[in-house]
């Protein structure tokens, strides 16, 4: 199994390559906030283990094995970020925490979270329960419960 750090590299290289068409050391250093010299060190290791092809002046490309892992991690990241955003976590935090969670969860858990995200996003209208959840986050009271209490209140008065 790859280290969390190595997974982050493969994911970052995939993202950068998809955006720019190529990846250089400085792009990775910037994306992961790591010194270029440390990036080079890691790229050499990933090259030796067959995850990337790294040539000093040509930049870095993913091998098939590296691309498979990079795609898997990116997919996990996208699922977790989407889930956190559904849960009203601000985008920046969701993105940061998705990057932590993406390495740690069991495959089955991620599969179910992905199903959940797809379920929510495929709803034809913005789901009412999700609207209720937003209200709940703001007020601490479930809107249905609040309605019920109002209902009981008016019944008491009558
Ligand atoms: Fe990530």
Q: Is residue 83 one of the residues assigned to a domain?
A: no
Using the mean position of ligand 1's atoms as its centre, give its distance from the Cα of residue 85 in Å. 15
CATH of the domain at 38: 1.10.10.10
Residue 34 inside a domain? The answer is: yes
Residue 77 lies in a domain: no
42 is a domain residue: yes
Kindly state whether residue 108 falls inside one of the protein's structural domains. Answer: no
**How many structural domains comprise the chain?**
2
Mean pLDDT of the chain: 93
9-51 pLDDT per residue, tens: 999 999 999 999 999 999 999 999 999 999 999 999 999 999 9
Distance 77 CA to ligand 1 centre (A): 5
Range of the domain at 12: 4-69
Domain assignment present for residue 16? The answer is yes
For the segment 88-92, the average pLDDT, to the nearest whole number, is 96
**24 part of a folded domain:** yes
Choose one of 53, 69, 85: the last residue of a domain.
Answer: 69
Q: Is 102 inside any structural domain? A: no
Provide the pLDDT confidence category of residue 58 given band limits of 50, 70 and 90: confident
Distance CA 19, CA 26 (A): 15
| pTM for the full predicted model | 0.84
Cα torsion at 96, 101, 103, 105 (round to 10°)? -170
pLDDT tens by residue, 144-156: 888 888 876 544 4
Q: How far does residue 74's CA lie from ligand 1's centre (Å)?
A: 6
Could you say which of 47, 69, 91 is where a domain stops? Answer: 69
Task: Return the axis-axis angle of helices 4-20 and 25-32, rounded to nearest 10°.
Answer: 120
CA of 7 to the centre of ligand 1 (A): 8
């Amino acid at each position: 199994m790859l280290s969390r750090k190595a997974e982050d590299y493969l994911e970052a290289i995939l993202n950068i390559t998809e955006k720019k068409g190529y990846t250089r050391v400085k792009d990775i250093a910037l994306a992961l906030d790591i010194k270029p010299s440390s990036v080079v060190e890691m790229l050499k290791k990933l090259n030796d283990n067959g995850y990337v092809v790294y040539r000093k002046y040509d930049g870095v490309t993913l091998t098939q094995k590296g691309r498979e892992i990079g795609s898997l991690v990116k997919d996990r990241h996208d699922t977790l970020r989407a889930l956190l955003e559904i849960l009203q976590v601000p985008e920046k935090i969701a993105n940061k925490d998705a990057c932590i969670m993406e390495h740690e969860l069991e495959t089955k858990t991620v599969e179910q979270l992905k199903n959940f995200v797809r379920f929510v996003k495929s709803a034809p209208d913005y789901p009412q329960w999700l609207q209720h959840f937003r209200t709940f986050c703001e007020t601490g009271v479930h809107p249905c419960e609040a309605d019920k209490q109002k209902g009981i209140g008016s019944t008491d008065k009558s």
